Amino acid sequence: MSMETTFSIIKPNAMKKNAIGGIINKFESQGLKIAAAKLTQLSKEKAEEFYSEHKERPFFGELVTFMTSAPVMLMALHGENAISKNREIMGATNPSEAAAGTIRAEYGDNVGENAVHGSDSPESAQRELNLFFEKNEICNC
């Protein structure tokens, strides 16, 4: 077991469903603390930089358009094995394959509009946290 901090985004489709409370409840009730949070609307440049590893994929343009279409909630989540725990709580990328009770099963609409993003490795978590938060904005809790 190791204490980790991971990066999470509540995506525009979940924000439009007023699902912030429901989603945060799943994190907190399963052992993850909200160590930082920002509600903002992403610029095209920031969304393209964030998803740069997908820039050759056919869905890249659609993904950037969706992610900039409405406000999002950016968060740092802290806890034991936070990276893998967050991925379990989110469920499979495609909501139609996500286990019952996971965030994507409850709030996802399709593989693009899948309610939440979560870092997939310690390296991605560090890169993604650095893109959106200053070190002193993440509480050491």
Tell me the catalytic residues. 117
- Report the nearest approach of ligand CMP to the CB of residue 55 (Å): 11
Which of 124, 122, 112 shows the shortest CA–CA distance to 13?
Answer: 112
Q: Is 71 helix (H, G, I), strand (E, B) or coil?
A: coil
Q: Would you tell me which residues interact with ligand CMP (CB under 6 A)?
A: 54, 59, 63, 93, 111-112, 114, 117
6/114 with CB nearer ligand CMP: 114
24/47 with CB nearer ligand CMP: 47
- Report the nearest approach of ligand CMP to the CB of residue 117 (Å): 3
Q: Cβ of 11: how many Cβ atoms within 10 Å?
A: 23
Handedness of CA 100, 103, 108, 113 (dihedral sign): negative
Task: Give the span between the Cα atoms of 3 and 46, in whole angstroms.
Answer: 28
- Report the nearest approach of ligand CMP to the CB of residue 26 (Å): 16
- Report the nearest approach of ligand CMP to the CB of residue 140 (Å): 26
Question: What are the distances in angstroms from CA 126 to CA 92, 118, 120, 122?
Answer: 22, 12, 11, 6
C-alpha triplet 22, 133, 73: angle, nearest 5°: 25
